[in-house]
Copies of this chain bind each other. A is one copy, B any other.
């Protein structure tokens, strides 16, 4: 059994706790949070502390707190045993300033508290300072998910950037789509089968191959009409993404 102490009480921590409780090879022996935030989302059987001095001895201390807090928090960890790993996509391994061994265990997923997730397919991107620590992280992540990758700090930061485009920015495109629906009196539901298919396609096609629409065809009549209908941020976003798509397929 891998004994784990979980640090944090945000969306990532909530889901990591759930994922750990389901695993037969992980024992979540304690969680740490300064306050009672999100208490209702955690199993009440998990022992909780709000004091760093009371942290139990564990194999793995999993830090799921916001990026800016990782460095100052880790500085307060004065023990030398065990492995301390953060879960951030954008922070380097050496953001950890503890005395114990350092690692990273980044789950590449978007976590909303009320969503049910298939933990078994979440990709975990791991980094450690030595082989033994990497093996521990592999055992830990591998007992939650079948998708485990070894990735260094430079790659992970790029991966996080790719995730921002693929997840956050595409979601904002959905948001603009919904705004246009609402402003014109019809339901965003009309677009949902299209959104599902947009992602479904990626099982067999690359995003490059899957592209369709006026920019893909460089259909200037439709494009100019759309630009005329838009204003503000929507217009600027339309123009620059259309320009980028046209450039992508220019050599066709």
A:126-152 near B, CB below 8 Å: 147, 149, 151
How far apart are the CA atoms of A171 and B189 in the complex, in Å?
Answer: 19
A:160-174 near B, CB below 8 Å: 161-174
How far apart are the CA atoms of A67 and B217 in the complex, in Å?
Answer: 11
Are A166 and B177 within 8 A (Cβ)?
A: yes
Question: Looking at chain A's contact residues, is the secondary structure mostly helix, strand, loop, or mixed?
Answer: helix
Are B213 and A167 within 8 A (Cβ)?
A: yes
Are B163 and A230 within 8 A (Cβ)?
A: no
Chain A, interface size category, equals 35 or more
How far apart are the CA atoms of A46 and B236 in the complex, in Å?
Answer: 46
A1 within 8 A of B: no
Query: Which B residues are CB-close (under 8 A) to A157?
Result: 225, 229
Query: Which B residues are CB-close (under 8 A) to A204?
Result: 114-115
Encoded as 1 (CB less than 8 Å from any B CB) or 0, chain A from 57 to 90 comes to 0000000001110000000000000000000001
For the complex formed by this chain, how many copies does it contain in all? 2
Residues of A within 8 A of B (CB): 11, 66-68, 90, 108-112, 114-115, 117-118, 121-123, 125, 147, 149, 151, 154-155, 157-159, 161-178, 180-181, 183-186, 188-202, 204-217, 219, 221-222, 225-226, 229-230, 233-234, 236-238, 240-241, 243-245, 247-248
26 cross-chain CB contacts under 8 A: A109-B194, A109-B197, A110-B210, A112-B201, A115-B205, A118-B193, A123-B190, A151-B186, A157-B229, A158-B181, A161-B226, A162-B178, A164-B215, A165-B177, A166-B174, A166-B176, A166-B178, A167-B195, A168-B216, A168-B245, A170-B170, A171-B198, A171-B210, A172-B215, A177-B207, A178-B208
**Pairs of residues from A and B, 4 with the lowest C-beta to C-beta distance, nearest first:** A166-B177, A168-B213, A170-B170, A175-B207
